[in-house]
Amino acid sequence: MTAPVPEPTPLSRAPGVAFILKKALISALVALVLFSLMIGVRTEAGPTGQLIYWTRFGDLAAMVATVFGGSIVVELLRQWWGPVGTVRIVPPPMQNALAVARRAIAPVLLIFTFLVPVIFYDQRYILDLGILVLTYVMLGWGLNVVVGLAGLLDLGYVAFYAVGAYSYALLSTNFGLSFWVCLPLAGILAAFWGVLLGFPVLRLRGDYLAIVTLAFGEIIRLVIINWQSLTGGPNGVSGIPRPTFFGIPLTPGDDGLAAKLGIEFSPTHRIVFLFYVILALALLTNWVTIRLRRLPIGRAWEALREDEVACRALGINTTTTKLTAFATGAMFGGFAGAFFATRQGFISPESFTFQESALVLAIVVLGGMGSQLGVALAALTMIGGFELFRGFDQYRMLVFGIAMVLLMIWRPRGLIGHRAPTVFLRHSQPIVSELVREGRA
Amino acid sequence: MDYFAQQLINGVVLGSIYGLIAIGYTMVYGIVGMINFAHGDIFMIGGFIALISFLLLVSLGLTAVPVILLIVLLVSMAITALYGWTVERIAYRPLRHSFRLAPMLSAIGMSFVLINYSQIAQGARVKPVPPIITGGYTLHEGSEGFVVRLSNVQIIVVITTIVLLAIFTWLVSRTRLGRDMRACEQDQTMAALLGVDVDRTISMTFVIGAALAAVAGMMYLLYYGLVDFFMGFVAGIKAFTAAVLGGIGSLPGAMLGGLLIGLIETFWSAYFSVEYKDVAAFSILIVVLIFLPTGLLGRPEVEKV
Amino acid sequence: MSEPCILSVDHLSMRFGGVVAVNDLSFTAERRKITALIGPNGAGKTTVFNCITGFYKPTSGAMRLTHDDGRNVQLERLNDFRISKQAKVARTFQNIRLFPGMTALENLMVAQHNALMRASGLTFLGLIGAPSWRSAEKHAIDLARRWLGRIGLLDRADDAAGNLPYGDQRRLEIARAMCTEPALLCLDEPAAGLNARESAALSELLLSIRADHGTSILLIEHDMSVVMEISDHIVVMDYGVKIAEGAPQDVRDNPRVIAAYLGADEEEAIAVMESGT
């Protein structure tokens, strides 16, 4: 005898209009209280130094109404889409199409990137944007080694970026060394810092490691600001020489590259050159990372992320494994920093704030920890998105913060939902991200 | 010697403020195991709310300082507590069963939201406030002419801290809520099975932490006479250092840690260098985590294999 | 003539604050034999394991591992990973600790990390793709393949370890430990959660490991059928103390052991036994 099927109760039916309205009303009330003083009243330091204020009840009302409306929209969406994490079955023909698209994305993107300076030769803005995106792609790939592969949460990655930048800046302005000589030096110095910083703290758990790396990043920035005799303090270092084409400068004069090649000089040459330099550096980062993943050290990084205790039981020295991950990531950060210095010609501590570390971390997490393509796409999305907000700096960071929260709620494992194994007997089967651990926390 | 005594007083006052913030960190870490990255910015919001409430009350014609202080205290505690509740509801609760790093990254996002929200809402410039409470007591006049002063503001800060600590300790050890909190700290699943409303308890933890941070914000406003949108970031790290130094999860530890950090920072800037005082605080964090990870009053954790 | 004992535990004690988990424990495990460590829950068996494999630093006592060539290693002085690397002690865990996001094959490759690191010239030879590296890698894959075949997972080599059924995961963990080519294999409840058929297969696997590789085995186990079938020597613990040691037959009929498992008094146990049931 089968059990009787229960009658659908009011609770099991979809929430009605009253429920949604009630929720929206509560949200609006909460918003009213939250915004009452912060938005309703605007304070400012007055002309004589005293504090003045004025009211903005119109803005307040608008914000509360937005929350009310937004709450309704969110509820409706939630009903339509189902709760976060609902599994959606993708029909097979679409699955095949997706699979083909997935494999095509990387090569297509790569070819497109190579051709960007050709396609957009005259659009300085696009070229600059491209250089910026590629810089962050490289930073993302570098941090990916630490966070994505080894599972070590590093919130102070900007420190290595800064070390690389200042190394090149100071070496070139004080000793006249060229970019190509300083580049490996910057990487080595940054790696050295990585080991130095990493050594005492790598046995800390995830949360603590994160805070400590954050503290390190801040310490480096404060030291840079305050050690004026060495770093120029808040004024930074200027007059950083631009890179040469293996010794031949890209200047309009007779000894310039343009003259040597017999073509007319154009300032765009240097931009294009810089574009290909950062592209080469980024691709180097990518290549090394992919190779290392297949070698025992890379596999040890990933095993460390999966289960550190098991690693130790297998005889793996987890301390040196963590240090190598840290140092390798730091080295790439250093390279990127040196490039940044030479591209800008001027650096100051303001470029090396915690916000940068958070941005690179967001790129790595959004990309799907460990995935090279994911990180590249994430960098493109984030930096491209940032560009849309040019001129609205504060709103930019506000949206960034909201995006991070939403990302964690909606897709905490990032865009790319799987991990590719590094060795296989028959065929390489991607592993879904739910199985892949994200490091010890 | 007089200089030393003055720094001692200043350090204790600063330490009280850090301690109030640190309690929020330690409570949240104890109950949900996450570092509430946005907590320092809740402190900042508390400061702003206090500032604006002050302005409104003064412009409404109120002149009795104790009445103003009391109203501002209650208002900023209430509103900031609501901020804390909202942040938990929106950014942390949905992630409670998610991957371990998700709440931390969400908290970082929330921190950015709060900082930039304040910046947009109230402008980027530092907001100065004329001293609301003036006067004090001269404790000792030194031979070189250096005067050791204990100002009224300092007395108020310390007394408020003590009173709140007393209330709070009573809350945690004697009330049902406190018992629920301690139960959730030990074993959330079991607490839920025994009828503890885990969601509500966790929310209340955040709310109380935010309320205390609001008090700290108001005290900061009274003591230093200014607020700015970035003050939560550095203060947050220092308060977290205090929580770790005292032993994360331990409430007396948070206060003790706060006092120590306040004293260290004050003495460092007085005797060594002001520019590097933040570096000193951050370095202490690193040193403590390396050599004394369980803090002064914490319990050592043995990892189960 | 090599020393018969591979592992000698002397007066081992482990204290956690006020709790004494292991109290003055001494026993030996013989070379190329299977020694079982049994006892009721909470007896301290896993704690002993953790001390032997370096995850806990014992409060007092000594543990000596003697290699085939006579070299002695004092385990209480080594850090955890060094015990696996230098003392050649491998272990599995009570709650399986595989690398779930990696394939079965990758799990076995990680186990050969140290050998492969040396062969890759600390990575550098590997980066340039030197032939010596490539042959070492091939050799490692072959070893992994042999073990996968042995535990019947060859056709699931490319599946994520986290996706494998429970019994397969247990066997994979043992294979992974064996890929480190240990002298002493410590197994923490390898038969937990296995049905009768799987337990029999496990017993067979362990016996073949002992026969083919000469590996000594120390195992914690609750499944008496497995213990009785394969053990050469049994050590019984209760409340952190050794209460019996000897051949399986002797231990099985020991009233103290029975009493400990039943949670009853020794006298009661003897009474039950003598009443002929």
Judge whether C111 is closer than 8 Å to chain A, CB to CB. yes
Q: Name every chain A residue with its beta carbon within 8 A of the beta carbon of C158.
A: 421, 424-429
**Which residue of A203, A285, A306, A314 is the best one to mutate when testing the C interface, meaning the one whose CB has the most C CBs within 10 A?**
A314
Looking at chain C, how many residues does it have? Answer: 277
- Which of A29, A62, A79 is the last residue before a domain boundary? A79
- Work out the average pLDDT over B233-260: 90
Chain C contact set for B303 (CB, 8 A): 55
User: What would the pLDDT profile of C71-125 be if each residue is shown by its tens digit?
Assistant: 888 888 887 788 888 888 999 998 999 999 999 999 999 999 998 988 888 878 7
CA B124 to chain centre: 22
Per-residue pLDDT, A40: 84
CATH classification code of C1-88+184-277: 3.40.50.300
Beta bridge partners of C38: C236
Q: Is C84 on the interface with A (CB under 8 A)?
A: yes
| Chain B residues in contact with C93 (beta carbon < 8 A) | 305
Interface membership of C261 toward B (CB under 8 Å): no
Sign for the pseudo-dihedral over CA of A56, A60, A63, A69: negative
Average pLDDT, chain A: 84
For residues A151 and A341, the answer to whether their CB atoms sit within 8 Å is no
Is residue A68 scored above 80 in pLDDT? yes
**For residues B144 and B283, which has the higher predicted lDDT (pLDDT)?**
B283
> CB C93 to CB B305 under 8 A?
yes
Query: For the domain bounded by C96-181, which CATH number is listed?
Result: 3.40.50.300
Give a yes or no: residue A64 inside a domain.
yes
Contact with chain C for residue B305, Cβ under 8 A: yes
Could A313 and C97 be called an inter-chain contact, meaning their C-beta atoms sit closer than 8 Å?
A: yes
Residue A245 bridge partners (DSSP) = A248
Q: Which DSSP state fits C160?
A: B
Between A92 and A295, residue with greater pLDDT? A295
Task: Give B280's contacts in chain A (Cβ within 8 Å).
Answer: none
Domain containing residue A57 = 17-79
Question: At a CB cut-off of 8 Å and minimum separation 6, what does A440 contact?
Answer: A151, A205, A206, A305, A308
Q: Which pLDDT score is estimated for B239?
A: 93
**DSSP string for residues in A16-72:** -HHHHHHHHHHHHHHHHHHHHHHTTEEEEE-TTSSEEEEE-HHHHHHHHHHHHHHHH
| Helix/strand/coil for A236 | coil
- Name the burial class of residue C26, with classes exposed (0-12), middle (13-18) and buried (19+) by CB atoms within 10 angstroms of its CB: middle
Higher per-residue confidence, A253 vs B43: B43
3-class secondary-structure state, position B154: helix
Residue type, C64: R
The Cβ-side half-sphere exposure at A330, using a 13 Å CA radius, reads 27
ipTM exceeding cut-off 0.95 for this assembly: no
B34 chain-A contacts, CB cut-off 8 A? 207
Rounded Cα distance, A380 and A400, in Å: 14
Instruction: Output the domain CATH number for residue B28.
Output: 1.10.3470
* Max intra-chain CA distance, chain C: 75
Contact residues, chain B, for A210 at CB < 8 Å: 35, 104
Same domain, A184 and A278: yes
CB contact under 8 A, C106 and A288: no
- How far, in Å, CA of B128 to CA of B147, rounded? 26
Minimal Cα–Cα distance from B139 to chain A, Å?
A: 31
Q: Which among A39, A206, A405 is the nearest to B121, CB-wise?
A: A39
Task: Determine if residue A34 is left, alpha or beta; phi over 0 gives left, psi from -120 to 50 gives alpha, anything else beta.
Answer: alpha
Q: Comparing B296 with B220, which gets the higher pLDDT? A: B220
Is the pLDDT at B263 greater than 80? The verdict is yes
Interface size A-C, in CB pairs within 8 Å, comes to 136
Inspect the interface and report whether the beta carbons of C103 and A318 lie closer than 8 Å. no
- Which residues, listed in sequence order, are joined to residue C218 by a DSSP beta bridge? C35, C186
Closest residue in chain C to residue B302, using alpha carbons only: C16
Q: Which of A39, A395, A408 sits opposite B105 (nearest CB)?
A: A408
Q: Which two tokens stand for residue B138?
A: 């001269």
Q: How confident is the model at residue A14 (pLDDT cuts 50, 70, 90)?
A: low
- One domain, residues A253 and A341: yes
Q: Which residues of C touch A427 (CB under 8 A)?
A: 158
Q: Are residues A129 and A25 in the same domain?
A: no
Residue A387 lies in a domain: yes
Residue A48 shares a structural domain with residue A137: no
Could C100 and A437 be called an inter-chain contact, meaning their C-beta atoms sit closer than 8 Å?
yes
CB contacts, 8 Å: A225 with chain B: 275
Contact residues on chain C for B302, CB-CB shorter than 8 A: 16, 56
Specify whether A141 is located in the same domain as A233.
Answer: yes
Question: Residue B14: what are its φ and ψ, rounded to 5°?
Answer: -60, -40
Query: Which residues lie closer than 8 Å to C106 by C-beta, 6 or more apart?
Result: A299, A421, A422, A423, C99, C161
* C48–B contact, CB cutoff 8 A: no
Which of residues 220 through 259 in chain B touch A, CB cutoff 8 A?
A: 233, 237, 240, 244
What's the length of chain B? Answer: 305
Estimate to the nearest angstrom the gap between the alpha carbon of B96 and the chain centroid.
24
- Mean pLDDT, range A330-350, rounded to an integer: 92
Give the residue on B whose Cα is nearest the Cα of A403.
Answer: B109
Residue C1 has pLDDT above 50, yes or no: no
pLDDT band for B304, please (50, 70, 90 cuts): low
Q: What is the pLDDT of residue A138?
A: 95
pLDDT score recorded for residue A12: 46
pTM comes to: 0.88
How many structural domains are present in chain B?
1
pLDDT value of position B299: 67
Q: Is position A4 within any domain?
A: no
Tell me, yes or no, whether A141 and A65 share the same domain: no
Residue-level pLDDT at C92: 94
What confidence category does residue B302 fall into, taking pLDDT thresholds of 50, 70 and 90? Answer: low
Query: Do C55 and B302 make contact, defined as CB atoms within 8 angstroms?
Result: no
Q: Which residue of C has its CA nearest to A298?
A: C123
Which two structure tokens, joined as six digits, stand for C88?
Answer: 């050649």
Q: Give the residue numbers spanning the domain of B252.
A: 2-291
Structural domains in chain A (count): 2
Residues of A within an 8 Å Cβ radius of C: 288, 291-292, 295-297, 299-300, 302-303, 305-307, 309-318, 419, 421-429, 431-432, 435-437
Q: Does C55 touch chain B (CB under 8 A)?
A: yes
Kindly report the nearest CA distance between residue C5 and chain A, in angstroms: 23
Q: Does the pLDDT of residue B36 top 50, yes or no?
A: yes
Chain C residues in contact with A300 by the CB 8 A cut-off are: 110, 113
Domain assignment present for residue A274? The answer is yes
How high is the pLDDT of residue C2? 58
SS3 A376: helix
The CA-CA-CA angle for residues A384, A390, A394, to 5°, reads 110
The answer to whether A312 contacts C84, with C-beta atoms less than 8 Å apart, is: yes
**Per-residue pLDDT averaged across A225-254, rounded?**
78
Closest CA–CA distance from residue B258 to any residue of chain C (Å)? 28
Across the interface, of A314, A317, A435, the residue whose CB is closest to C163 is A435
Q: Does C124 touch chain B (CB under 8 A)?
A: no
Task: Write down the pLDDT at residue C171.
Answer: 94
Inter-CA distances, A203 with A192, A319, B114, B293, C172, Å: 18, 7, 32, 11, 28
Cα separation, C191 vs C201, in Å, equals 10
Q: Residue B302 falls within a domain, yes or no? A: no
Mean pLDDT of all residues in A263-278: 82
What is the location of CATH 3.40.50.300 in chain C?
A: 1-88+184-277, 96-181
* Percent of chain B whose pLDDT exceeds 90: 40
The verdict on residue A184 lying in a domain is yes
Query: Tokens representing B244?
Result: 């770790």
Average pLDDT of every residue of chain B = 87
pLDDT at site A137: 95
B289/A201 touch (CB, cutoff 8 Å), yes or no: yes
User: Of C110, C141, C159, which has the smallest distance from its Cβ to A299's Cβ?
Assistant: C110
At A85 the pLDDT is 61
Residue C170 has pLDDT above 90, yes or no: yes
Q: CB neighbours of A348 closer than 8 A, spacing ≥ 6?
A: A232, A234, A235, A236, A237
If you count residue pairs, one on B and one on C, with CB atoms under 8 Å apart, how many are there?
Answer: 8
- A387 CA to chain C: closest CA distance, Å? 36
pLDDT of residue A183: 92
Query: Is the Cα torsion angle C211, C215, C218, C220 positive or negative in sign?
Result: negative
Q: Are A378 and A148 in contact (CB under 8 A)?
A: no
Q: Residue A282 above 90 pLDDT? A: yes
Among A197-211, A385-399, C225-239, top mean pLDDT goes to C225-239
Q: How many helices (H) and strands (E) does chain C have?
A: 12, 10
List the single residue in B99, B102, B122 with the smallest CB-CB distance to A38: B122
Strand order in the sheet with C89-91: C89-91, C184-188, C216-220, C34-38, C233-238, C241-246
In the stretch 146-165 of chain C, residues with CB closer than 8 A to chain A read 154, 157-160, 162-163
Most distant CA pair in chain A: distance in Å? 97
Chains that touch A (3 or more CB pairs under 8 A): B, C
Mean per-residue pLDDT for B241-258? 89
Residue A407 banded pLDDT, cuts 50, 70, 90: confident
**Do A234 and A352 lie in a common domain?**
yes
Residues of C in contact with B305 (CB under 8 A): 46, 50, 55-56, 93
What would the two tokens of residue C229 be? Answer: 């079938």
Strands (E), C145-193: 184-188
Residue A97 lies in a domain: no
